[in-house]
Structure 1
Amino acid sequence: MEKSGSEADFLKSQIVPTIWKQNPTTGEVDFDKILITSRVMGDEGNQEFANILISGKADEKSNSNYAKNYRLLQQLVDEYAAEQPLAFYNLISNILNRAILLPITADTQDTALTIFSTLNDRGLALSDADIFKAKIYNHLDQNGKKDFIERWQELDEEATNAGESIQKLFYYYMFYLRAKDNDRKTTTPGIRKYYAQNNFERLYSNNIMENLNTILNLWIVINNRNTVDNEKWSENTEIKQILDALTSYPNEFWKYPVVIYYLHYHQNATFEDEFLLFVKRLLAVLSARYIVTPTINAVKTGILNLNAEIINSPQPKFYFSRVDEKELSDKIKNAHRNTVRMILKIIAYQHQSDLLPEKWEIEHILPQKWQSSYFPTSSDSEVKELVEHIGNKIPFEKKLNIIASNGYFAKKKESYSKSKVEILLDLSKNHVDWGLDEIRERDIRVSDELVKLLNEWGLNQIDVQPKELLTFIPDERFSDYQSFIKMFKMEDSNEAREKFLNM
């Protein structure tokens, strides 16, 4: 469109008044006064959008979506105009004369958000965090808005760097607020529905951004293995080892009591010592329960009770049923695949003072592929089962594991000797060969060590006589269950729940 010609000049004369202000008398165009403005939260992007309209150029160094999209469209338009100039003129003419621009106005922000979500159902949907951001922003005065945008953008960037998101931070914070309200219900509300209660009043707390930042500090320590200024506990390797083991717990329910405890007590003078005791006991209880019963329902009720108990005391009561130690010991030996990584971390950390390498794999000491002639007195099924026992598994750096491949023990020892995993180094030094008897012997040692350790950390410690743990009712059937006990005038009990589930 830069070149002259009757078609180009005519089309440009039609485009100009749609973008820039034009003197109604003289027709003179003021290219510094644009007719399109953006009021998106945050001034930086709005100004860049305005600069593009005024100058017709995007900053080559800018990585904003405005700049990237403008440069891409400019390239595509130039290529299309060069290849098909007549079709290009027709395209511009049709946009100017046949496209209909419908203005949409909304009387409230809620209406605007509803309209946007409806029209944008095929695009990138508004996240819950987007909604919360808009709600908080519009609740502030002009000075507060500028400060809020800066804090939000910083929080967003730091959360991303820590492998989290603002949306997740709001989710963790919801469990903290529920705990403060003594909400022990196992049904988890939708995050938007939860914060929308009482006209979003929870979002307007003066300390909400501070609390989200505090929660993020915890994940910076856990996920990035960094320390946090003025928080001595973040330098405590033993705490970080326990937290690292918890990250291998097979679901996310461990996160909520840890977040609640940290957010509620991190400023206490005795926090470091109390936090260590708490996370040890939490890991002991959760790991044992899952090893014995590998389902989320085994701990869900106990976790929701624990969340509320944390608010009451830095030495909270644990309402979990007792774990049978014999059953635990047996199941450790042939552990469920979801628990192996967690078990190996716990054991490994009893033999070294630093964290395991970030990238490591579960090494089968006796390889998964073996020669039958190597074990002439054992059936293939017996060997196959023992190969998957905990006694045959150990942490091993990913890079070294690739080098070691599937060779037998004598061939692997050279790679093992380069490891920084202490239990692997010890195993390599203390064994010249590795077979089925060694697996069985290590099964017993690992199992005995883990059971003893979990007991020391408070596995079956009794705070009070635990309340009866009620049989879990799936969320989608809970309203039917409530109608059931109301109809038959029954109390909520395991007997009533079993009758309902067996209908």
Structure 2
Amino acid sequence: MLEFWTKKDKENSKNKRVNFAANEDLLNKEETFEFIKQLGEFWCNPYNYLNPEAKKYFAILNTYQNRLWQMVVSVCFYKDKNDENKGIFDKILPQLVAYNALGLIYGKGGSSGLFWSLMKANVNIIKENKIKNIFESSINLPDLKMPSLENFIDFSKKARPQQIRYILSLYAILYNENQVMQWNKDNKNYSLVKAEIEHIFPRNWQNTNYNGWDEKEAQEYLEQVGNKMFLEKKLNIQAGNGYFNKKKEIYQSSYFIEAQDLATSPQEDWLKGDIENRNK
């Protein structure tokens, strides 16, 4: 970063001239600091700059395991401010959300896995004809396509809670586009970031054969993403390790639409087939 702003006529490791900011004396130009000020104001209150659709995708990104995606959002802000390219957040944020998800599922969601692809995406944002498809195949993600169901289930069983949180955040939008991402309830602010992960089939086995399950089978299905959903912390505590028919009484008070729908389900048990269907 320091070299970018201060060293002129720098050559990179391939002996190619690099267009550093110092070559154009950007550090001494008033418009540079004016934009930095505007960018700082944006990041203090980003939701003030986004329409309702873009806000949903921004809320999903806020649950991601690192903050590299903010580079792309900052370039979107730059493009929006300089080119009056209104609606650019609507075009870019869904792509960014999807790319981060692929990175997670294919095991390339860390800083080293995403950095250069995000940098290339920034270049494509600046190019007018690239905004509709800013991501390209790379060494880390050679195939930008939907993973197989088997690959996805394998990922979900080994994923950390923060990674599952991101997938569930994306699923909240896919499940129902009317899902509110931030709300006030009982004088408390709720959001995707504060939601807790509920295991629909309880995590703690209760030493009994439950409607055809045995403990070994339960452990195989327990950590699959099809058995997990978002719930407010208080409701998650209330649901505890009860079984499905009892939990439904708790779910009906949730602001998560899927939990509300499960509360009205006529079925009394949560079975392997239900987990498999939600995986899909």
Q: Would you call these one fold, judging by a TM-score over 0.5?
A: yes
SS at match of 1:374: coil
Aligned to 1:409: 244
Aligned to 2:135: 318
- 2:106 corresponds to 1:292: yes
Aligned to 1:421: 256
| AA partner of residue 343 (structure 1) | I
Aligned to 1:276: 90
Structure 2 contact 244–270 (Cα < 8 Å) conserved = yes
Structure 2 contact 100–109 (Cα < 8 Å) conserved = no
| AA partner of residue 332 (structure 1) | F
For the residues of structure 2 that align with 1:261 and 1:345, how far apart are their CA atoms? 22
Structure 1 contact 214–263 (Cα < 8 Å) conserved = no
For the residues of structure 2 that align with 1:208 and 1:292, how far apart are their CA atoms? 38
More helix by share: 1
Aligned to 1:373: 208
Structure 2 contact 205–215 (Cα < 8 Å) conserved = no
Instruction: State the 1:312 CA deviation.
Output: 1.9
Larger radius of gyration: 1
Give TM-score, length-normalised by structure 2: 0.76
Q: CA RMSD in A?
A: 2.6
- Work out the percentage of aligned pairs sharing the same amino acid: 26
- 2:54 corresponds to 1:239: yes
Structure 2 counterpart of 1:391, from 220, 226, 248: 226
Structure 1 contact 237–353 (Cα < 8 Å) conserved = no
C-alpha deviations, 1:453-489, integer Å up to 9, x for none? xxxxxxxxxxxxxxxxxxxxxxxxxxxxxxxxxxxxx
For the residues of structure 2 that align with 1:292 and 1:377, how far apart are their CA atoms? 33
For the residues of structure 2 that align with 1:212 and 1:303, how far apart are their CA atoms? 20
For the residues of structure 2 that align with 1:353 and 1:441, how far apart are their CA atoms? 21
| Greater RCO (Cα-Cα under 8 Å, separation 6 or more) | 2
Structure 1 residues 373 and 221: alpha-carbon distance in aligned structure 2, compared to 1, 3 A threshold: same
| AA partner of residue 164 (structure 2) | V
Listed as ranges, the matches of 1:41-190 within 5 Å are none
For the residues of structure 2 that align with 1:355 and 1:217, how far apart are their CA atoms? 22
| AA partner of residue 271 (structure 2) | G
For the residues of structure 2 that align with 1:326 and 1:208, how far apart are their CA atoms? 42
Give TM-score, length-normalised by structure 1: 0.44
Structure 1 residues 341 and 213: alpha-carbon distance in aligned structure 2, compared to 1, 3 A threshold: same
Structure 1 contact 221–227 (Cα < 8 Å) conserved = yes
For the residues of structure 1 that align with 2:173 and 2:204, how far apart are their CA atoms? 29
Structure 2 alignment gaps of length 5 or more = 9-20, 183-189
For the residues of structure 2 that align with 1:285 and 1:342, how far apart are their CA atoms? 12
Structure 2 counterpart of 1:343, from 167, 183, 190: 167
